Amino acid sequence: MKPVIGISSNLKEQVLSVSMDNIHAVMEFGGVPIVLPNMEEIESIAETIDGLLLTGGGDIDPTLFGEEPHEGLGSITPERDAFEIAVIHRMMQLNKPILGICRGAQILNIAVGGDMYQDIHTQIEDKLLQHTQQAPRWHASHYVQVTKGTVLSEIVQVEKMKVNSFHHQALRDIPSDFVVSAVASDGIIEAIESKNHTFVMGVQWHPESLMLKNDLASSHILKAFIDACKK
C-alpha cells in the first residue's frame, strides 16, 4: 500500500491552506497526501499517517523557546505551533519519518528543545546573504555546504548544492540529539537531522518548489522521505 503522508497547513482567519507543490511532491514519489487540520486529535493522527511533512508558513511564537517578541517578528499562529509540536513529539516517539521544510525545520528544532533567531537581519551582526530571494520559487539562489557523514549527504551525494531561500527567521541552537547537516556560506544553518531516528530531518529551503525545474538533489530528498515512510 502507498504510505499516507500528513501535510501540515497554514491557518488564517479559520481557513486552512497548503501549497499544491507539497501535495504534488508527495504524490510524485508514491505517497498519499492528507492535509492536517491543526486540531487536537494527535494520537489518532500519528497512528494513521506513515510520515509527517511540516510545510513552510508564517513565524513562530518566541515564548515557546523562552523569548519575548522581537520587533522584527511577523504574524504567528499559536494553534498551528501547538499542534505541530505535539504531533512532532508523538511521531518521534513512534519513530515515524518527519521532513520539515523552512518553517517546518524551525518548529522541529523548537519541538526538540532548540531555539531560533526571530529576525536574522536585526539579530545577526555579520553580513548575510539574501535569504528572502527576489526570484521565482523554483530558482536556486545560493549555495549550502553539506556536512559529510550525514543522512543528507548520503541522499544528495554532493558536498555543495544550490537552494532557494524564503525566510527571515533561522535556526540558532541545535539540541545534542541532532546534527547540523548543511550550512550557508554566511553561517546560517540550512539543515538538521536526528541522530537517533530513522528519518527526522529539517531543511531551510523548499525542495518541493525546486522540483518544478527537475532539481535532482531536491527530488532525492523528497524521494528518500517517502521511501522511509514506505518502510
189: Cβ contacts below 8 Å, ≥ 6 apart: 170, 171, 172, 174, 180, 182, 183, 204
For residue 1, pLDDT over 90 is answered with no
pTM for the full predicted model: 0.95
For residue 39, pLDDT over 90 is answered with no
For residue 130, pLDDT over 90 is answered with no
CATH number of the domain enclosing 69: 3.40.50.880
Which residues are known to be catalytic? 102, 206, 208
> What share of the chain in percent tops pLDDT 90?
84
In total, how many domains does the chain have?
1
For residue 163, pLDDT over 90 is answered with yes
pLDDT in tens, 55-92: 999 999 999 999 999 988 989 999 999 999 999 999 99
Spatial separation of the C-alpha atoms in residues 97 and 50, rounded to whole Å? 7
Which H or E element spans position 225?
helix 216-230
Q: What is the mean pLDDT of the chain?
A: 94
Question: What does the pLDDT read at residue 25?
Answer: 96
Instruction: Find the domain containing 53 and state its range.
Output: 4-230
